[in-house]
């Protein structure tokens, strides 16, 4: 997939697009105005999610609403899978069990099931509970889609976001308005922010566990403490 990301020259302030092919960020870019060489630093986390969201925004600006909706949904689902496999590897990585992880993910066939299981895996609570805790991250999406408080957050995103993607890939509906594309990108951005918050909570839990382990070392093998 070809993409372009905005680069701002630190020397003259010129902003210009940098072409990217695939997921490999070029080592450097040259400013077209002052010719300064700018060395790129790969961002932390899942760079592919960022590329997909940026491409979705570009497609929306080019009036290809259908592709913008599809790309934003792929970005969210890709981020979900990325976090699931990332933390499986952290917890217990052996090459022999990676196929079982693939099977586990595939068997969680519905988006609702996956998003709930991922939330419990990373935060120890289901999606609705965590979304309620981090509701501020979702506020722009809730406002844009006129969220009904009587609806669960999981059902809200299923109906307002993933069902729109399903209409395209399952039923061949492609006649969407620009407002549909804008809403999909807003919902996707909020969901990715929430997924990143799950990731940060899992990191905090791991750090706390390590901290406690350092503070309370196990007794030595001789049966007495130094």
Q: Percent of the chain at pLDDT above 70?
A: 87
**pLDDT of res. 110:** 87
For the ranges 3-17, 135-149, 202-216, the one whose mean pLDDT is highest: 135-149
Q: Is the pLDDT of residue 59 over 80?
A: yes
Report how far residue 165's alpha carbon sits from residue 222's, in angstroms, rounded to the nearest whole number.
Answer: 62
Q: Which residues pair with 17 in a beta bridge?
A: 6
Report the candidate in 190, 189, 192 with the shortest Cα–Cα distance to residue 60: 189
Report the candidate in 52, 51, 57 with the shortest Cα–Cα distance to residue 178: 57
**pLDDT of res. 224:** 47
Q: Is the pLDDT of residue 41 over 70?
A: no
- Find the mean pLDDT for residues 1-14: 78
**pLDDT of res. 226:** 46
pLDDT digits (tens, 9 = 90+) for 65-115: 999 999 999 999 999 999 999 998 887 766 666 777 878 888 888 899 999
Q: Is the pLDDT of residue 42 over 60?
A: no
- Find the mean pLDDT for residues 150-158: 96
Report how far residue 65's alpha carbon sits from residue 182's, in angstroms, rounded to the nearest whole number.
Answer: 8
Q: Is the pLDDT of residue 23 over 70?
A: no
Strand, coil or helix: what is 46?
coil
**pLDDT of res. 160:** 95
> Helices (DSSP H) in the chain: which residue ranges?
47-61, 65-91, 98-107, 111-123, 127-133, 135-144, 153-157, 163-169, 178-215
Instruction: Quote the tokens at residue 87.
Output: 């933390």
User: Do the Cβ atoms of 55 and 1 come closer than 8 Å?
Assistant: yes
Strand 28-30 to 2-8 pairing: unpaired
Q: Is the pLDDT of residue 125 over 50?
A: yes
Of the given ranges (55-64, 92-101, 198-207), which has the lowest mean pLDDT? 92-101
Report the residue count for the chain.
226
Instruction: List CB contacts of 48: < 8 A, sequence separation 6 or more.
Output: 23, 78, 82
Q: Is the pLDDT of residue 3 over 80?
A: no
- Find the mean pLDDT for residues 136-148: 96
The average confidence (pLDDT) of the chain is: 87
**pLDDT of res. 11:** 86
**pLDDT of res. 100:** 79
Between helices 65-91 and 47-61, what is the axis angle to 10°?
Answer: 170
């Amino acid at each position: 997939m070809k993409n372009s990301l905005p680069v701002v020259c630190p020397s003259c302030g010129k902003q210009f697009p940098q072409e990217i092919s695939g997921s490999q960020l070029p080592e450097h870019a040259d400013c077209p105005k002052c010719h300064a060489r700018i060395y790129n630093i790969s961002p932390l986390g899942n760079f592919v999610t960022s590329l997909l969201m940026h491409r979705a925004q570009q497609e929306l600006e080019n009036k290809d609403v259908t592709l913008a909706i599809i790309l934003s949904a792929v970005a969210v689902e890709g981020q979900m899978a990325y976090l699931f496999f990332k933390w499986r590897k952290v917890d217990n990585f052996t090459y022999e069990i990676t196929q079982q992880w693939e099977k586990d993910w595939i068997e969680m066939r519905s988006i609702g099931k996956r998003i709930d299981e991922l939330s419990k895996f990373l935060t120890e609570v289901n999606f609705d509970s965590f979304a309620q805790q981090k509701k501020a991250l979702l506020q722009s999406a809730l406002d844009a889609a006129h969220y009904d408080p009587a609806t669960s957050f999981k059902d809200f995103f299923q109906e307002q976001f993933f069902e729109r993607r399903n209409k395209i890939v399952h039923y061949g509906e492609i006649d969407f308005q620009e407002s549909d594309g804008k809403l999909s990108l807003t919902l996707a951005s909020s969901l990715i922010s929430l997924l990143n918050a799950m990731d940060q909570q899992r990191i905090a839990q791991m750090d706390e566990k390590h901290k406690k382990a350092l503070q309370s070392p196990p007794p030595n093998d001789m049966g007495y403490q130094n």
